[in-house]
Amino acid sequence: MTKATPFLLGLLCFGLLPLTGQDYLIGVSFTLLTWIALTQSWTLLSGFAGYISLGHVVFFGLGGYFVVLTWGILPYWISLPLACLVTFVFAIAISIPVLRVSGPYFVILTFGLAEFVKYVVMAVESHLGQFGRLLLGVPSLATLYWLALFLATLATLITFVIRRSRLGQGLIAIRENEQAAEAIGVPVTRYKTIAYGLSATIPGAIGGLIALRTSYFEPQQIFDPVVSFTVLTSAIIGGSDDVRGPILGAAFLTLLSELLWARAPQLYLILLGILLIVFVVILPNGICGLLRRRAAQA
């Protein structure tokens, strides 16, 4: 059994799932796949380079907004890739000021930026006389599911390939010590910019998928900071230094959410906070970090 076997088995299970014909199961799996894609993309900058973003929702929201604005003009198979391009270009454009700061300032800046964009979109929508947009004729759940599976697989592959590449090694060196990384020849500014651009790409399409899934758009909903918190918590629980981490973290949180939403939905956010504290204090590198450290000590 190779290291890839669990991934291939997982992929096979997700591939066979639509055959069950159970909408609930497909819906939950769709949600799980979108969280996996979002968390994997977050990992590229925040996990590898250690620039913790609390504003990942900005790319998700902008992608969603783009798909909503072009709904009825462009088919989704064009608007979704374009949404990726829009968020990539947006990230590269803002990377120069944003990546000049680090540590807690970067966390605050990314959070503030997401909120800023949310209020700009709200102002634009208000100016246009829109208080929510209804999307008619959206693709079926099965179609959206296949797209989510494709994006989650793509995001996982990108993370996997980058983790093993020179770029990945350079990003990890930046996370460990930026000045020391520069001293060994890592082109710090270029690598951070590439990672930021790449981390923004997949969320653009995921935001579009979520807008199509809910068939309703409201800025407060799609730019909800809870999206960023959930991505961060998934990455911390699973571990963000390993491609398995976002999958484990997203699976854990999706199951938790499904178990709680019907009986005690208010408990979900409280538990999210508790989990975040417990993992940051006890297992800052998540489940995968624990496994790695044990392997190194053995």
Partner 1 sequence: MSTFLEVRHLGRNFGGVRALHDVNLTVSLGEVVGIMGANGAGKTTLFALIAGNLRPGTGDILLDDSSIVGLSPDRICRRGVGRTFQTARPFGDLTVLENIITAARFGMHRLDAHAAEKRAVLLLDIVGLGTRRNQISGDLTLSGQKRLEVARAVATGARLLLLDEVMAGLTPTEVAQMLEVVQTLKAENSLTILIIEHVMRALMRISDRILVLHHGEAIACNAPAEIARDPRVLDCYLGLHA
Of 183, 255, 259, 278, the one binding partner 1 (CB under 8 A) is 183
Binds partner 1 (CB under 8 A): choice among 144, 188, 212, 237: 188
Q: Considering only CA atoms, which of 43, 28, 83 is closest in space to residue 61?
A: 83
The answer to the question of residue 280 lying near partner 1 (CB under 8 A) is no
Least Å distance between CB 218 and partner 1? 41
List beta partners, residue 216.
134
By CB under 8 A, tell whether 180 contacts partner 1.
Answer: yes
Selected range binding partner 1 among 75-83, 103-111, 183-191, 274-282, rule: CB under 8 A: 183-191
Which 3 state secondary structure label does DSSP give 297? helix
172 touches partner 1 (CB under 8 A): yes
128 binds partner 1 (CB under 8 A): no
**Considering only residues 64, 170, 239, 246, which one is a binding residue for partner 1 as defined by CB under 8 A?**
170
Stretch that binds partner 1, among 55-63, 74-82, 87-95, 165-173 (CB under 8 A): 165-173
Stretch that binds partner 1, among 24-32, 169-177, 194-202, 220-228 (CB under 8 A): 169-177
Rounded CA separation 142/43 (Å): 27
In the complex, least distance from residue 242 CB atom to partner 1, rounded to whole angstroms: 12
User: Using CA atoms, how far apart are residues 86 and 91, in angstroms rounded to an integer?
Assistant: 9
| Alpha carbon distance 175, 242 (integer Å) | 14
| Alpha helix ranges (H) inside the chain | 5-16, 23-42, 57-69, 76-98, 104-127, 141-164, 166-176, 178-183, 188-214, 219-222, 225-238, 244-261, 265-282, 286-297
Q: Which of 2, 5, 140, 179 binds partner 1 (CB under 8 A)?
A: 179
Distance in angstroms (rounded) separating the CA atoms of residues 143 and 137: 13
Using rule CB under 8 A, residue 100 touches partner 1: no
Amino acid at 53: S
Size of the site for partner 1 (CB under 8 A): 23
- Choose the binding region for partner 1 from 4-12, 32-40, 129-137, 185-193 (rule: CB under 8 A): 185-193
